[in-house]
Chains A and B, each alone.
Chain A
Amino acid sequence: MENHLQDLHEVLSKVQGYVYPNEIELNWSILIVLYPYITGLVAGAFILASLERIFKLHILKPTYGLALLTALSFMLVATMPLVSHLGKPLRAYEIMVTPHLSSAMAIFGFVYLWYLMVVLLLEIWFDYRRDMVIWANETKGIKRFLYKALSLWTTDISPKAVALDKKLGYIVTVIGVPSAFLLHGYVGFIFGSIKANPWWSTVLMPVIFLFSAIVSGIALVMLIYILLSKIRKQKIDMACLDLIARYLFYILLIDFVLEGLDQIHRIYEAEESFEVLHMLVFGKLFYTMFILQGLLGTIVPLLTLGTFQFVQPKEKIRKAVYLVTSALILIGVFFMRWNVVIGGQLFSKSFYGYTSFKIGMIGTEGYLMAAVWIIVPFIILSFLLWLLPPWKKKDEDADIQEV
C-alpha cells in the first residue's frame, strides 16, 4: 500500500502514449496463444487423415493412423491451456458442468465435445475395433484388459461386422471434415468477431485460422512421421512424404495469399486504426511477424517446397529439408497465433498508445507452463502409439471391400 505511487510509476513506465487503465496488463498471454495453436494442430492433422480416407489417396496410408492419433493426443490437451489460464485449478471443473448456450466463449465446450466424442474417438474406434479384438486375444494382463475395455467388450470380427465398421468410419470421416473446419473456424471466429479490436475484427479471420491450422497440422504429422521412422529405424515412404509435402505447399500458398489479402485490405482501407497498427507491426511485432512468421515460417518453406515441385534432389536431401521445413512452419504458425493474440492487446483501443508485454519463466502464465502443455501431447502420443501402433494393424484390405 505504501508503494502505491511507485507502483503506478512502474506500471506507467510500461506504457507509451495514452492507454486506458485496463489495457496496461495483457490479460491473454502465452497460454491463450497455445490454445488456438493446439486446436489448429488437431484440426490440421485430422484433415490430413481425412484426405486419405475420403479421396482414397492410398499413398498417404502410412500416415493415416499416425495423423489420427496425433490429432487425438493434442485434442485431449486442447482445453488445458484455457483451464490453467483461469488459474483456479480447484474449481476448474465448474466451467465444464455449467454449459452456456449464448456465450461465444462457452460454445467451445460444445464444439470440443462434438469433435472429440462424435468425430475423433468414433473414427479411431471404428478404425481400430477389429485390431483391438485381435490384440486382446494375443496379449495378456493389463494390456489385454485395456484392449477389451477400449473395444467395449465387442467380439464380432466377422467380415460383415468389419465392413460395417468401415462404412460407419467413412461416414464419420465425412462428417468429420466439416466438423474440423468448424472447430478451427470457431477459434478464428472468437477473435474475428471482436469488433472493438481492429487487429482481430475481420471476417477473414476464421478462414485464415483454418488454413494456417491445416498447414500446421500437416507439418506436425510430417515432422512426427520423419522422427518416428528414425526412432523405429524404419524406411520412410518417400512417395507418401513427397505427396504430403506437395499438399503442404499448396495449402501454405493459399494461407499466405489469404493473409496477404487480409493485410492488403487493411492497408487499402486505412481506417483510423491504421496508424497505430502500422506502428505496431513495424515496432513491437517486427521480429515475430516479419522474421519468424513471414520469412522463416512462410517464405522459406514456400521457396523450398515450391522448388521441390520442379526439381527433385536426392532422397537424403529431401528428407532433411522436409524435417527442417516442417519445424520452421510449426514455429511460423505458432508466431502467427502469437501476433494475433498478443499483438491485438499491445495497442490501446484509443489508438493513442501502446503497452508492453514481458513473459516470465515460471508461474501459471510463464514459459514453463506453456512448455508443459506442448510436451504432454507427445507423451500421450507415445502412449497411444504403444497401445495402438498403426503399423501393427493387421490389414486385410484385400478381402474386405471398402465402401
Chain B
Amino acid sequence: MPQQIKRLISAFAIVILLFLVMQQVLKPSSFGVSGHYRFLAIQENKLKELQYAGSESCIKCHEDIHIEKSDGYHAQLKCEVCHGPALRHVMYADKFENEELPDSLKLNKPDERKDCAVCHRINAARIKITFDTIDNSMIKQVDPMKHNLVHKKTKVELKCIECHYPHQP
C-alpha cells in the first residue's frame, strides 16, 4: 500500500478512536437515561425558584374579592395576570394581617389607564370581521385616549378604575 494511504488511514483511525474515547469521557453521566437528553436537566430545572401561586391560593385570604370577581366580566382573568407573580406574597403575607406589607411582598396594583389598555386598547387583530358585521366581542375595545378621558365637569383626567371596579368591571 502506498505510504500516504497508510498514513491517512491511521490518521483517520486515530481521530475516530479519539472521538470515541472523548465521547465516553465527556458525555454527561445522566445522558440517555430516559431518551436523548441529559436526564438531570429536569432536576436542575425543578430547582429553579417558583414565582406564581395560582388564583386558587388567593381565596384563603381574599375570599371577598374572589367572590366579587367570579360573577363579573373579569371572571376568567387570573389574579396574577394583573397583580404579577405572587408566590412569596402567598407564603408570607399572613404574618402582616392589618399592617403595611413590606415592599418585598407588595404586589402590583395596575391602576393606570395604560394598564387596562394592555388588553382593551383598539387592536385590529382582535376584531372579527364577518361579511356584514364587525364583531369586537372577543374582547371589548376602547380608545384609551378618548374613552371618558376627563371628568365631564371638573376636566381632570380620570383613571379607568374610577368608573370600572377592576374586579367586577
Residues of A within 8 A of B (CB): 1-6, 8-9, 12, 17-18, 91, 93-94, 97-98, 100, 117, 122, 125, 129, 152-156, 161, 164-165, 350, 352-353
Contact = CB atoms under 8 A, between A and B. Distances in A.
B52 to A, nearest CB: 10
B123 A117 contact: no
B84 A97 contact: no
A8 B118 contact: yes
Contacts of B106: 2
A211 B11 CA distance: 34
Given A1-B85, A152-B11, A94 B26 contact: yes
B152 interface: no
A353 B108 contact: no
A8 B85 CA distance: 12
Contacts of B26: 93-94, 97
Which secondary structure dominates where chain B touches chain A?
A: helix
Interface of B: 2-4, 7-8, 11-12, 15, 19, 22-23, 26-28, 31, 36, 38, 51, 82-85, 88, 103, 106, 108, 110, 114-115, 118, 123-126
A93 B26 CA distance: 8
Contacts of A129: 4
Contacts of B22: 97
A157 to B, nearest CB: 10
A3 B4 CA distance: 67
A153 B84 contact: no
13 contacts: A5-B82, A5-B110, A17-B124, A97-B19, A97-B26, A98-B31, A100-B36, A125-B8, A154-B4, A154-B7, A155-B3, A156-B2, A352-B125
Contacts of B85: 1, 4
B2 A161 contact: yes
For the complex of A and B, the 8 pairs showing the least CB-CB separation, nearest first, are: A4-B84, A18-B125, A17-B125, A352-B125, A152-B7, A97-B23, A5-B110, A156-B3
B73 to A, nearest CB: 19
A8 B125 CA distance: 18
A350 B8 CA distance: 54
Nearest to B86: A1
B125 A161 contact: no
Given A4-B85, A94-B27, A117-B15, 17 more contacts: A1-B51, A1-B84, A5-B82, A5-B118, A8-B118, A17-B124, A18-B123, A97-B23, A97-B26, A125-B8, A129-B4, A153-B7, A154-B4, A161-B2, A161-B3, A165-B4, A352-B125
Contact of A164 (B4, B11, B31, B115): B4
A353 B108 CA distance: 28
A12 B85 CA distance: 18
Contacts of B103: 2
B167 to A, nearest CB: 16
Central interface residue in B8, B125, B126, by most chain A CB within 10 Å: B125
A154 B108 CA distance: 74
Central interface residue in A5, A8, A12, A165, by most chain B CB within 10 Å: A5
B23 A5 contact: no
Contacts of A4: 83-85, 108
A153 B7 CA distance: 8
A350 B126 CA distance: 11
